[in-house]
Amino acid sequence: MPATPTTFAPTKQFVGVAAETAGQGSGTPMTSTVLVDSVKAKDNQTFLDDKSWRGSMATDSFAKIPGTKTADIELGGPAYGDGLGFWLRNILGDVAWVGTSTGSGGTTLSVAGTVGASSIQTAATIPAGTTVQIGSGATAECFITGTPTGAGPYTIPLTTPSGGLVFQHAIGQPVQPVTGPYSQAYSLLNGSGSSQPMTHALTHFLGPTAATGARIYPGLCLSELGLKWSAESELLTWSGKGTSWASIPAGATPVANPSTVLPVASWRMVIGIGGPAAGGTLISTVSDGELTIKRELEPKFTTTGSQNPYIIQRGGVSVEGKLTFIAADESPLLWMLNNTQPSLQLILDNGLTGPNKITFQVDLGAAAFTDSEADGSKSAVEYSNSFNAILNTTNAGGSGGYSPIKVTMTNNVPPGTF
């Protein structure tokens, strides 16, 4: 009998991700499974043509010489509360990480904590392996501690995540043991230096790659992150587009380890315009919508002996979106005509408690409605409005400056994951 042909079933594919703590392009093997229902990964190889004259009646090149390489990535699916943080950190960069206090074991900083420090000094000791929150508000950050030393003040190593403190912390700031659920607040990174967010390595297990069945796309930077919802018929979904270094074969066969967290139905969303999504500013007439964060990207190539970029440089950020209103009055039209620029808040809660609680909260300090179209062709009159976020300091994170948006996630994800 003839041998069975070799084929690969796309139903077995999966996607993984890892933060590149060792630097852009390091290609870290996946640490988390990303639950998506679509992915397109395309390597781009440029070619340099040799068309020097050789006395021949031809216009084709006499040689094609390999030039630089990148890859384009598109992916998306239902939005999971314990996975979206990878992409928010990638496109925005600034994150404050807050835990739920255990109610005991708290202390304070005896010495100011400096950016990049891999340890802190505290008034009381903290056992190794404790998850602590340092500071509060926009500069809060969480770490898992190492073995303490000293007799007071005590030196407490910060082991996870690596890289040390992200923000400056003054003497006397609280150091509190915490547990889940945690919240992460993402804003535009405006810190000193390059202000380049974390990059991520994407792993795609598809099958054909020899030995491991997977390829890694290092140095991924998102140029677009979108959210979409429809109360009638959809889950909250997300989509992303980005650029990475050229793919490489995975060094070992990855293993899918999907989360048990479920996506959330869009009908659970509440929206506030001109105030919080509660009380008199709760808007009950929005049926569907979308919001897109866009970021400028440019791969920069240098003479380093590599076909890959020296850096994929992140530039400016903008935020835009659309909302569909069932018309109760002319408010959607008047927000546009009067250039009101109200605040906009979206909150989606899975309705659970404790470590199972998932929330998505999007805050725009000012949303300029730039278009409003009445639709009288359906069973109820509707308005379709487009908006742009306005830069403001209210949405800024611990790195300061301005931000068009702040997105806060609640989940049970420990620090250092994203």
| Of the candidates 343, 88, 314, the residue with the CA atom closest to the CA atom of residue 195 | 314
CA 68, CA 47: separation in Å to the nearest integer? 8
pLDDT on residue 46: 97
pLDDT on residue 378: 95
The structure tokens listed for 416 are 């250092």
pLDDT on residue 90: 98
Distances in Å between the alpha carbon of 98 and those of 52, 135, 137, 409?
Answer: 62, 9, 8, 10
pLDDT on residue 114: 96
pLDDT on residue 2: 77
pTM: 0.96
The structure tokens listed for 160 are 């996870």
pLDDT on residue 139: 97
pLDDT on residue 240: 98
pLDDT on residue 44: 98
CA 355, CA 362: separation in Å to the nearest integer? 21
Stretches in the chain below the pLDDT threshold 50: none
Per-residue pLDDT tens digits for 258-299: 999 999 999 999 999 999 999 999 999 999 999 999 999 999
pLDDT on residue 199: 98
